[in-house]
Chain A
Amino acid sequence: MSENGVVLRLEDLHVYYGGIHALKGINFEVPAGKIIALIGANGAGKSTTLRSIAGLVRPRRGKIQFLGRDITGLPAHDIVKNGIAMVPEGRRIFPNLTVMENLALGHYIRMDAEGIRRDLEWVYTIFPRLKERSWQRGGTLSGGEQQMLAVARALMSNPKLLMMDEPSLGLAPLLVKEIFNVISEINRRGTTILLIEQNAKAALEVAQHGYVLETGKVTLDGEGKALLNDEKVRKAYLGEE
């Protein structure tokens, strides 16, 4: 990896929605091979941060560097080609397409048939249910299966950085546990992960490092476990007194 093993670096990122100043100068780094969690309340700018990295939102000021390259303002499809995949909030699988086709869109940009085959096999070993249902339409899957499909689909682009927006949202507790196991599993295989979560506790337990966002700014950062024990974090995000 480039420059001291940092995969992604945001420098003074400002994003506006019309007149609303959504991100007010975000700075952070994602080191290679790690799981990084972004936590914060609703409207703190977590999703906007991911969306601007993915190229869905154009930042007004600041810089996004990926593997030493400046990717600020590139269109979303070029960012995927650079090696960033995103699991969007609310899964956003294609309900009218089969599971197979959903995965095929995941590797839309790839040409290496051999690598695609290998990754498909790997994805099917993590999510055996998807293999059983490969001919079903995405819309017929249960919520948990759809979330698995959304993750699998993102993995099929063979990303260097996988971003996940609220992967546990709306899932039953047992599935939440499963999805966090999967996140660790994907990370062990060498993919760097940037995670947004409402479920701050679960996120900080798997993450090596966490950033706390408040109204468009990073206000706190530290090791996952350390943040988990931080009094301010416990009060604000873990609902403890």
Chain B
Amino acid sequence: MDLKNDQAGHKFLKEYNYDLGDLDRGYTNRTLYINVGTHEIKEKPVTPLMKDKFIGGKGFGLYYLWQAVTEKTKWNDPENEIIISSGPVGGITQYPGSGKSLVVTLSPLTNMPIDSNAGGHFGPFLKFAGFDALELQGKADQDVIIVINGNKGTITIEEAPAGAVDTHILGEQLTEKYAENEEDKRNIAVISTGSAAEHTNIGLLNFTFYDVRRKGIRLKQAGRGGIGTVFRDKRIKAVVIKFAGVKGNQNHPADQLTLNKTGIKLHKEIHDLDNVQNKMRKIGTANIIEVMDKYDLLPTHNYKFGAHKNTFKISSEVFISKVTQNYPDGCWHGCSMACAKAADHFELKTGPYKGQKVTIDGPEYENAAGLGSNCGIFDPDAILELNFYCDTYGIDTISYATLTAFVMECYENGILNKERTGGLELNFGNIEANFELIHQMAKGVGFGKIAGMGIRKMKAYFEKEFGADPKFLFDIGMEQKGLEFSEYLPKESLAQQGGYGLTNKGPQHDEAWLIFMDMVNNQIPTFEDKAEALHYYPMFRTWFGLNGLCKLPWNDIAPANNKFTDEPAKIPEHVQNYVDIFNAVTGKTIDKHELIRQSERVYNFQRIFNIRMGYGKRVHDKLPYRAMGPVTVEEYLSRQERYDQQLAEFLGYDTTGKSAEEKIKVMREYRESQYEKLTDAVYKRRGWTMDGVPMVEKLREIEMDLPELIEVVKKHV
């Protein structure tokens, strides 16, 4: 590939110098604001309120976004911001999974705040360069690159050279350009997106890190919610950061020894047990493909089914043979969980880079299930290539996969046809049409441009242009709040329906993933049990996003004695590890209860932010029925025995002589009522009204009764 840099002609639009400052107990106590429209650059102090109530990471992101926008702001207004922040624990090198960047913006898919996290080295480098967060606001009138040198204390806004937009080229070029030599490349991290982010609402941000063993960049993604679309709308081509000299005490923690000991304890646990537990070092998150299939949970043909006879063709063993690395990789220093996988020297068969041999980061479970079974594709090489193009074109694999599955079902139902798709035969399993679709998105042409709007906007478009039945589209379009579902079939797990539906940002698995607890292990049988889980787990998982941490090392490995503890699903020893490392970095003295409270403050803030933007109420927590039960006769018949038995057992309904349509209707009434009961129980547990609005008493209880929040809440109770 051509890595020549276009050195000629690019000029500095703004130069800014700053004092490097000191990092103390996880905070630099300063953030960086850059307006790409006006070229204003300034430093802001981190206030005690920010640290006490918002902690860092997505907490800081939401805090700044609240101040930047009004209830009328749209995602493509200049005042919308992209905020990137790590969090106080982020950047420690001893505990696995401590290098996350949290990104917050107003989403083009949901019109309200989205937060998404990414690995890679940017977040920690930003902090080491002197800033707890970076706010990007405004819109440039030409493509720009922002360069932060964290050793020299310089920030520049530069005219972007013409040429590559797609990350696998641009990321390499910029790493090459801003590093002084090969040794220096490890000190560069780049954020960018790709050409499809300009033409769709599902753009993502790629975060690079330099792989010193492979001598090339690797990519991690802030995938969800269209953040890359906002990035390109601001005409930012890339943000480059440079920081040399990472050491184990960069955060100036209060208690280094505890960090070292806690980290080594988990490293040893992973060394001893990963291979007999989840094999994260060997195959990463793709380890569960066949497990999901076995439990009838693998989304197949737009979530109609939970398994497929051809799953063996895309099982984890198949992908293990495709992954060529000899040693496990983490996406930040010290991650011995090392789930980052890569297939090297993969020769592309389609598109503008056909014939190029590339390194593909992945596959991860979501990619294999979404791009694979959910679209009826059981060809591992096709999945890897789609994965590659999603990344380099800068689009979210999950949204791309789920919207493609939706399009395919519409095609098979006659809502779409060859004429309407411009010639694409988008049946389930059509690999060729799928590639054409993604290449169209990158060019912003044809049906790719329509599909790239996302499912919510497509539904309206199909109704208006093609006269499609809006009720059916609502039932089968797997989006909620405007965001496409991630790749788990929640139909047979009420708790996971709540895990997807009763969320702040839409149906992702960042907030709750309760399928196994509910369906497989039957640990939360009652509504109250489920409500407790739908309180605790979203709060616990929110905490990772406040601190720059990854969720995987929490429960993708467990101590040998975990099953003998009082609450095995919580992994109590690891919860204590998190309390210990937080205290070790910050010098505070929180316990596991205060940890949850820290999250509750930000979680309720985000809920109220949604309400302020005109969303965030009970009506917005409603799910498409495909997520809850069988929409079609085909689906009912695929599980007829189970469904008939449930109707008899739960409702005393005699199915003898009844048609599938009749049974679907009865089943639907039952399941929808169950979801409503669950919603009641969860809102009650969270301290919300039955309309989903946080109560003033709750805000007082968690010491989050800030005047601006009370003002919003009072309008809705």
Pairing of A with B: no
User: Residues of B with Cβ closer than 8 Å to A?
Assistant: none
User: Residues of A with Cβ closer than 8 Å to B?
Assistant: none
